[in-house]
Amino acid sequence: MGLFNKKSTQAGRLDMEKLPRHVAVIMDGNGRWAKKRGLPRTAGHAAGAEVFRRIATYCSKLGIEYLTVYAFSTENWKRPSDEVEAIMALFEKYLHEAIEKMEKENVRLRVLGDTSRLSPEIRALIEETAAKNDRITGMQANICINYGGRSEILRAAKAAAADAIRSGLELDCEMLEKHLYTSGIPDPDLIIRPSGEKRLSNFLLWQSAYSELYFTDALWPDFTERELDRAIIDYQSRSRRYGGIQKP
């Protein structure tokens, strides 16, 4: 149980007994937010990183178990190199801070994606944060960096096929899931995409099979705790049937 029992908001009431276990967010709209203000796109990424810090703290206070954010896709390398470098610098700064704060804030941190293309400095920081996780019991924040759903599935399929050949067992979903970056993490209950776009852009393609989707026009740097409340309240009104029929 998190901080509050029932929490009133403008949009309705958050039911603390029916919180999603796992919330995922496509942190989109940083560039447009900056453009609207006549600022360089990189200022939007810096503002977006701040909002991530705030929303992660809020999710942890609410009692969400897993928060997964999409920070950089396998396709985002197509962007101008100064923008990519600025995003990587923000990520490095965030990891430095996280190492200092994660125990105090009781938040575990995991990086999902192909880290082999990241700088040696960032890879070392990722290892340092991972080493601290064992001592932490609180929310798990997953940051997707150089993450792509298709390459994740392909990589897992290759590894699972090798397992199947070795063991002589028939390849099944469970064997494949063991090799996804998200291994051991439940599928997201709720996926939020701000910025008005209504697509997944290669995010959690396997894991989103039965996720509830929520779209809002707010740009990520404008996203607030209230907006998250609204998304969760909307989620709580949905009937999740997983292909079955609604229980009477």
Subset of 21-40 contacting Mg ion (CB under 5 A): 28
Q: Nearest-CA neighbor of 109 among 52, 169, 62?
A: 52
Taking CB within 5 to 8 Å according to partner kind, which of ligand IPE, Mg ion, none is near residue 96?
A: none
Q: 205 vs 209, which CB is nearer to Mg ion?
A: 205
**Smaller CB distance to ligand IPE: residue 66 or 203?**
203
Q: Which of 57, 119, 201, 236 binds ligand IPE (CB under 6 A)?
A: 201
223 binds, among ligand IPE, Mg ion, none (CB under 5 to 8 A by kind): none
Contacts of 148 (CB under 8 A, 6+ apart): 73, 74, 75, 113, 114, 202
Strand pairing category for 6-9 and 12-15? antiparallel
Q: Output the CA–CA distances (angstroms, integers) from residue 211 to 22, 43, 126, 220, in the order listed.
A: 10, 31, 28, 20
Using CB distances below 5 to 8 A depending on partner kind, what does residue 24 bind out of ligand IPE, Mg ion, none? Answer: none
Contacts of the segment 54-57: beta carbons below 8 A, 24+ positions apart: 54/225, 55/25, 55/223, 55/225, 55/228, 56/107, 56/139, 56/141, 57/105
CB 25 within 8 A of CB 70: yes
**Measured between alpha carbons, how far is 58 from 14 in angstroms, rounded to an integer?**
14
Q: Can residue 42 be called a binding residue for ligand IPE (CB under 6 A)?
A: no
Could you say whether residue 31 binds ligand IPE (CB under 6 A)?
A: yes
Residues listed for the chain: 248
142 makes contact with ligand IPE (CB under 6 A): no
Binding of ligand IPE by 43 (CB under 6 A): no
Partner that binds at residue 70, options ligand IPE, Mg ion, none, CB closer than 5 to 8 Å by kind: ligand IPE
Is 134 marked active-site?
no
Q: Which is nearer to Mg ion, 28 or 229 (CB)?
A: 28
Report whether 2 contacts 63 (CB < 8 A): yes
For ligand IPE, which is the closer residue by CB, 70 or 233?
A: 70
Nearest to 107, CA basis, from 124, 95, 92:
95
Residue 76 annotated as catalytic: yes
Q: How far apart are CA 159 and CA 27, in angstroms?
A: 30
26 interacts with ligand IPE by CB under 6 A: yes
> Binder to ligand IPE among 42, 60, 68, 73 (CB under 6 A)?
73
What is the smallest separation between the CB atom of 87 and ligand IPE, expressed in angstroms? Answer: 5
- Give the residue numbers annotated as catalytic, written as ranges: 28, 76
Binding site for ligand IPE (CB under 6 A): 26-32, 70-73, 76, 87, 195, 197, 199, 201
Binding site for Mg ion (CB under 5 A): 28
